Amino acid sequence: MKVKSIIFAGFVSFVLLCSCFSYAADPIQLPSPQMEGGKPLMQALKDRMTTRSFTEEKVSMQTLSNLLWAAFGINRPDGRRTAPSAKNWQEIDIYVASPDGLFLWDAQKNLLIPILTKDVRAMTGTQLYAKETAVDFVYVADYSKVQDLAGLDKNTLVGADTGFIGQNVYLYCASEGLATVIRAGIDRDVLAKEMKLKPEQKIILAQSVGYPKK
């Protein structure tokens, strides 16, 4: 009887383990972004600020969907985005680090594609608050999409494209009462290895988003 109990317990543990891995491997479909409402633009600009102190409160899937769409979502039938990109390269990918793991956002399908099942928020910045925020966005440039242009520094263009995305996040946060800070302090080599990035993928900046401490 004791042997049967051990076998049964082992079987249950195996099933639960498989279920966890199966769940982790499934993309998460985000709800459609809400494209109406919010503060008037001039009010959002007035309220825009950098915050480095966050609560542990999570953001909802709806809020995350809205955030990502504001950052770099598709806003026209031809696939162009809410933020400009040089030559319409659309070379910036947004990775989302949360307590549940690391995900790559697919703007076309509005999906979160699982990359890692571990919490890597602390690795997204050298600042202590990086591990405490609801989400950390990691902006990764895919240089395979970036062309050499005569007389222009492609690194400058990639940096500008990332800045546009970050500012969109700032404005959404100002509109919705969220806190955010964009960051360059990242151990890029360590994080890139953890994220299993390809040689042509480069981490540019990260941005923490959450709710401000009162």
What is the per-residue pLDDT for 19? 36
125: which DSSP letter? -
* Euclidean distance between CA atoms 168 and 165, whole angstroms: 5
Q: How many other CB atoms are there within 10 angstroms of residue 33's CB atom?
A: 19
pTM: 0.87
What is the per-residue pLDDT for 34? 96
Q: Which domains does the chain have, with CATH numbers?
A: 30-210 (3.40.109.10)
- Residue 145 structure tokens: 């999409």
| Mean pLDDT by groups of 10 residues along the chain of 214 residues | 45 38 71 95 96 94 98 97 96 97 98 97 95 96 92 93 98 97 97 97 98 90
* Euclidean distance between CA atoms 141 and 118, whole angstroms: 23
What sign does the dihedral 181-186-192-194 (CA atoms) show?
A: negative
What is the per-residue pLDDT for 165? 98
What is the per-residue pLDDT for 3? 46
What is the per-residue pLDDT for 25? 67
What is the per-residue pLDDT for 150? 82
